[in-house]
Amino acid sequence: MKFRTGVLVGLVAALTAGCTLAGNDSASGPSTVTLVTHDSFAAPQQVLDAFQQQTGIKINVVKKGDAGALTNTLVLTKANPIGDAAFGVDSTFASRALSEGVFAPYTSPEADRGPQRYAVDSEHRLSAVDLGDVCLNIDTGWFAQHGVPAPATYDDLVKPQYKDLLVVENPATSSPGLAFLLGTVARYGEQNWQHYWTQLQANGMRADAGWEEAYGQDFSGSSGKGPRPIVVSYASSPAAEIGDDGKPRTKALLDTCYRQVEYAGVLAGSPNAANAQKVIDFLLSQQFQATVAENMYVYPAREGVPLPASWTTAAPLPPNPASLPAATVQSGREQWISQWRSLLGQ
Amino acid sequence: MSRAGLGLAALAVLPLGFLVVFFAWPVGAILRLGFAGGGVFAALAEGETWRLAWFTLAQAAGSTLVAVAAGMPVAFLLARVRLPGVGIARTLVLVPFVLPTVVVGLAFRALWADGGWLSIVLANAFFNVAVVGRTVGGLWALLDSRAEDAARALGASRWRAFRSVTLPALMPAITSAAAVVFLFCATSFGVVLILGGARYRTLETEIYLRTENLLDLTGAAALSLVQIAAVLAVLLLGAAARRRREGALRLRSRRETARRPVGGEWAVVAAAVAVLGLLLTPIVALLVRSVSTGGGWSLAGYRALAGTGNDGTLQVSGWDAALNSLRTATDATVLAMVVGVSASVLLVALRRSPGRVARGVGESMDAALMLPLGVSAVTVGFGYLVTLDALPGDLRRSPLLVPLAQALVVIPLVVRTVLPVVRSIDDRLRQAAATLGASPPRVWREIDVPLAMRAVIAAAGFGYVVALGEFGATSFLARPQTPTLPVAIAALIARPGQLNNQMAYAACAQLMLVTAAAVIVIDRLASGRVGEF
């Protein structure tokens, strides 16, 4: 018995010795920049490696939830930041990050190639990296099959012929859901948006907690093959739904888009600001900007960066999306969410 | 202070220190930030708060009832039945435990689109049947069946013998398991979110929202206080229930107690098989999803998983993610075993000590050890952010944080699995050994350790599986270079496109495979580990 226990303990120890994570990690040092970002961040390793070869800077990526969770993490840790630079604070949360003094001023030489069009503050504490427009997506096949004309605008959705066809996300728990709510506030104004939602609900709208359920399960145009042909998703989503015939199965309604800009900046209080600035330059550079569409399903903020060939027909950049000033969003967001909840009896 | 007292104090340093540094301090810091904002008591007075509390407790109680009812036949099957396939069942029952809640939530939605609160209860129970089956089964396998046989010989019916002999002996394990399940369900996040849609909310989902998205730490603090109070109340009730029922049991090895079922026992076996069938339903649905395309069947998801996804979703291949999961879970389990076993030994020693003070300390420590299961992962995670930089080496950036956070969830399970067995060791055995001249350490080595070993290994296996599937804390600390499988699955499922979807479900299949393999290895280690005497 004792012998066997000894063997077991030895075995466990041997297993662990080779398994421990600590020690194989060098997330500090002058040549490493910690980039705090959101869960959707993705970049090809070879592009990151090329940057490291050019500059000697290794980017250590740390992910912290969605844009909201990321922003709040940065706010909570501003006295002693957990990184040197951050990417993924979007226009919905930019105001909070700026008023809390999370970011240090830095004007990137790359910013005049397009990103400055989306500047949110005069000190350039945030540089625009990409655009992630939230629009209604429709299952074009469903409408062709059922002989119903495809909807095109917010107003269409409350018509009787589109009863029980729409699935949205709860703005309290989903960032595309919040963007869609902001889109309706931008379209109908702070006075009338609630009336619009009341009509939507009367017309059989379904609200899910997250994009995964709405798009992956209830929407008929994705692999989930759900019952509803209209969903709140992104302008870029149709690019992922191209069939074997080379044609997209879905379409974004370009008149229902709300623009969310994602920003990057140097964290105030980073001891590594000079290198962090180089990382911001890299995020705005042609090399990195050329990867954002394929890897993160967003549109580059830089001018003259070609989109993947399939995007030009399936997922063009919405020409005139709605948006609200960052300060308006900051002051209204919480109230609108709670109004939305009580409106829907939730 | 006596030598024994000093020994106890030394033993207490590790579990208490761990709890204070990695739980009490971070959670306290976040609550303090909430109170600094003022208005906590105003938030407490809102009717909304109490509605949330009510629904939280009601759904957790419902889920616990379902899990215990479904878990008991399974426990009987695992403990007392010698039939081909029982070994497979033992492994199978743990598989649901590791599946990410987002996947299980989606599977339940697919099977039952608008189940409302009932599907929340069923999904929570689905995760937790294993807790009941394995915890109760672990003790049941060691119970001496001769008392039951005596009752039968004296004319009691099979049911009567079970009710008046076996059930009271199993009670400590049942209440232990029920307490753990209740805490898991009271703080279940993904299930409530996905199946509740925008309609059902619990304290946990609301704490998440207020902390993560709104940074309303005041509102979150108020809700956290209610959550902690509710959890403590349930724990104390559970402790009281356990106190009344605990006595020494005669423990035997499974080889003596397992046999072919006879008569009415077949009905219990049938019930257990039905439960296992129900557990398999969502699992089979997931496997079907992993190979189905719009027009037919394909293994594209599995092929893509061998690489790094179809468009850079993952920085590593699925197998690397699996390896990361195994590594992290190993670290977390070892950590949790060290802390949990020393805590169990301490608690037993405190109970046996003559002083009422020591016993009181034992009771409160027992409750304190369970608390991490009842506090929102987001509170702990954000607490780490604002406190752990004060420790040398800024732990917030350390990869060690993942196993540390996972261990916090595993420790209560270890304690709940090991403690009932250690406590039910008959003191007279110890006294006999001492009379024969064994020193206290020798008594431990010869009596307690062999008997407890099986429970310890069972706890390790269980803890390992929990760590493998842990998502809440892990996702805060997700390092793209070393994602665990659940984190990879969540990343894949959050992207459009058929291939990403197939890959996500293929990764689930992989996670189940890895889990089953780990459970088989651990159970193999555990078999035949009970001392005979």
Written as six digits, the tokens of B471 are 């998502």
Nearest residue of A to residue B389 by CA position?
A: A80
Q: What is the DSSP letter of A148?
A: P
Q: What's the pLDDT tens digit per position in B156-169? A: 888 888 888 889 88
Q: According to the 3-state scheme, what is the secondary structure of B480-532?
A: CCCCCHHHHHHHHHCCCCHHHHHHHHHHHHHHHHHHHHHHHHHHHHHCCCCCC
Identity of the residue in A4, A77, A294 whose CB atom sits nearest the CB atom of B385:
A77
Burial B210-249 (b: 16+ CB within 10 A, else e): bbbbbbbbbbbbbbbbbbbebbeebbeebbebbeeebeeb
Give the C-alpha separation, A323 to A258, whole Å: 6
Closest CA to A231 of A127, A126, A142, A314: A142
Closest Cα to residue B63, out of B208, B170, B180? B180
A304/A322 Cα distance (integer angstroms): 23
Cα torsion at A265, A271, A273, A274 (round to 10°)?
-160
- Distance, in Å, from the CA atom of A137 to the CA atom of A163, rounded to the nearest integer, reads 16
Cβ distance A65 to B476 less than 8 Å, yes or no, reads yes
Q: Which of A41, A173, A180 to mutate to test the interface with B (most CBs of B within 10 A)?
A: A173
Question: Is B94 at the interface with chain A, CB within 8 A?
Answer: no
Q: Is B209 on the interface with A (CB under 8 A)?
A: yes
Of A42-46, A78-82, A251-255, B206-210, the range with the highest mean pLDDT is A251-255
**Residues 106-165 (A) with a CB less than 8 A from some CB of B:** none
Tokens 């049947």, located at residue: B129
Task: For residue A295, list chain B residues with Cβ-Cβ distance below 8 A.
Answer: 311-312
Distance from CA of B470 to the nearest CA of A (A): 16
Q: Say what percent of chain B tops pLDDT 70.
A: 92
B229 Cα to chain A: minimum distance (Å)? 25
Mutation pick from B119, B208, B210, B215 vs chain A, by most beta carbons of A within 10 Å, is B215
Nearest-angstrom CA–CA distance, B198 and A341: 8
Rounded mean pLDDT of B357-364?
78
Structural tokens at position A27? 């997330």
Query: Across the interface, which of B201, B450, B478 has its CB nearest the CB of A1?
Result: B450
A330 closest CA partner among A64, A13, A68: A68
Q: How far is CA B206 from the centre of its chain?
A: 22
CA gap A54, B526 in Å, rounded:
54
Q: Which residue has the higher pLDDT, B370 or A220?
A: A220
Between the CA atoms of A174, A175, A178 and A183, what dihedral angle is there, to the nearest 10 degrees? -140
Cβ–Cβ contact A16 with B under 8 A: yes
Going by the DSSP 8-state scheme, the letter that residue A344 receives in this structure is T
Average pLDDT (B248-275) is 78
Confidence of residue A27 (pLDDT cuts 50, 70, 90): very low
Nearest by CB to B213, from A21, A45, A68: name it: A68
Asked if residue A133 has pLDDT above 90, the reply is yes
Residues 123-142 of B with CB under 8 A from A: none
Asked if B46 reaches chain A (Cβ–Cβ under 8 Å), the answer is no
How much is the pTM? Answer: 0.86
* Out of A28, A45, A170, closest to residue B198 by CB: A170
What is the Cα B281 distance to its own chain's centre? 22
B84 close to A (CB below 8 A): no
CB–CB of B376/B224 below 8 Å?
Answer: yes
Sequence-ordered list of residues with C-beta below 8 angstroms from that of B243, at least 6 positions apart, any chain: none
pLDDT value, residue A23 = 40
> Residue A346 pLDDT > 80, yes or no?
no
Query: Is B197 in contact with A233 (Cβ distance < 8 A)?
Result: no
Q: Work out the minimum CA distance from B109 to partner chain A, whole angstroms.
A: 8
Report the pLDDT value the prediction gives residue B239, as an integer from 0 to 100.
74
Structure tokens of B213? 């998205």
A223 vs B493: CB contact, 8 Å cut-off? no
Helix (H) or strand (E) holding B196, with range, is helix B190-196
At B315 the pLDDT is: 66
Q: How far is B14 from chain A (nearest CA, A)?
A: 19
- CB neighbourhood size of B380 (10 A): 21
The predicted model gives A135-147 an average pLDDT of 96
Q: Which of A1-5, A59-63, B186-190, B322-326 has the lowest mean pLDDT?
A: A1-5
What is the pLDDT at residue A103?
Answer: 96
- Contact flag A39-B494 (C-beta cutoff 8 Å): yes
How wide is the angle at C-alpha B388 spanned by C-alphas B385 and B392, nearest 5°? 145
- Count Cβ–Cβ pairs < 8 Å, chain A vs chain B: 172
Q: Residues B22-25: contacts with CB within 8 Å, 24+ apart?
A: B22/B404, B22/B405, B22/B407, B22/B408, B23/B371, B23/B372, B23/B375, B23/B380, B23/B408, B25/B383, B25/B387
For residue B139, give every residue at least 6 positions away whose Cβ sits within 8 Å of its Cβ, in sequence order, or none.
B169, B170, B172, B173, B249, B420, B421, B424, B455
Q: Do B215 and A12 touch (CB under 8 A)?
A: no
A241 interaction partners in chain B (CB closer than 8 Å): 496-498
Mutation for testing the B interface, residue in A4, A20, A267, A292 having most B CBs under 10 Å: A20
Q: How far is B97 from chain A (nearest CA, A)?
A: 21
State the Cα–Cα distance between residues A20 and A11, nearest whole angstrom.
14
Exposed, middle or buried, B366 (CB in 10 Å: 0-12/13-18/19+)?
buried
The proportion of chain B whose per-residue pLDDT surpasses 90, expressed as a percent, equals: 15
Nearest to A208 by CA among B113, B501, B282, B101: B113
Eight-class DSSP state of A305: P
Q: What is the 3-state secondary structure (H, E, C) of B26-81?
A: HHHHHHHHHHHCCCHHHHHHCHHHHHHHHHHHHHHHHHHHHHHHHHHHHHHHHHHE
Q: What is the pLDDT of residues B366-425, one digit of tens each?
A: 888 888 888 888 888 889 888 988 887 777 877 788 888 889 888 988 888 788 777 777
**Partner residue opposite B493 with nearest CB, options A76, A173, A212:** A212
pLDDT tens, position by position, B67-80: 999 999 999 998 88
Residue A236: which of A218, A217, A200, A211 has the closest Cα?
A211
Amino acid letter, B212: E
In the predicted model, is pLDDT for residue B3 greater than 80?
Answer: no
Concatenate the DSSP letters of all residues of A185-230 into one string: HHHHHHHHHHHHHHHHHHTT-EEESSHHHIIIIIBTTSTT--SBSE
Q: From the list A237, A294, A337, which residue is nearest B496 (CB)?
A: A237
Q: Is B480 on the interface with A (CB under 8 A)?
A: yes
Mean pLDDT score, A302-309: 92
| Residues 173-202 (A) with a CB less than 8 A from some CB of B | 173
CA-based Rg of chain A, rounded to a whole angstrom?
A: 23
pLDDT the model gives residue B238: 74
Helices B167-186/B356-374 angle, 10° precision? 50
User: DSSP code of B141?
Assistant: T
Distance, CA of B318 to CA of B320 (rounded, Å): 5
Mutate to test the interface with B, among A2, A35, A48, A212 (most CBs of B within 10 A): A212
Give contacts of A237 with chain B, Cβ < 8 Å: 496
Contacts of A44 in chain B (CB under 8 A): 312
* Closest residue in chain B to residue A332, using alpha carbons only: B214
> Do A84 and A272 contact (CB within 8 A), yes or no?
yes
Please give the structure tokens belonging to residue A161.
């012929």
Site from A72, A100, A311 to mutate, B interface, most B CB atoms within 10 angstroms: A72
Q: Does B344 touch chain A (CB under 8 A)?
A: no
Are B389 and A77 inside 8 Å of each other by CB?
yes
Phi, psi of B115 (to 5 degrees): -75, -15
Q: What is the pLDDT of residues B435-458, one digit of tens each?
A: 888 888 888 778 777 777 877 887
Q: Cα–Cα distance between B119 and B195 in angstroms, integer?
A: 7
pLDDT in tens, A234-262: 999 999 998 888 889 999 999 999 999 99
Residue among A25, A44, A297 minimizing CB distance to B399: A25
pLDDT at A5 over 80: no
Question: CB–CB of B397 and A82 under 8 A?
Answer: yes
**Tens-place pLDDT, residues B321-331:** 888 889 999 99
Nearest CA to B131 out of B183, B166, B168, B57 is that of B183
**A247-251, B276-280, B427-431, B473-477: which has the minimum mean pLDDT?**
B473-477
B330 at interface of A, judged by CB pairs closer than 8 A: yes
Interface contact A1-B531, CB threshold 8 A: yes
Other C-beta atoms lying within 10 Å of the C-beta of residue A24: 9
Strand, coil or helix: what is A325?
Answer: coil
Q: Which of B195, B202, B213, B445 should one mutate to test binding to chain A, selecting the residue with the greatest count of A CBs within 10 A? A: B213
Residue in B with minimal Cα distance to A59: B481
Q: What SS3 class is residue B203?
A: helix
Contact B364/B490 with Cβ under 8 angstroms?
Answer: no
Span B284-306, mean pLDDT? 82
> Is A217–B109 a contact, with Cβ atoms under 8 angstroms apart?
yes
Residue A306 DSSP code: P
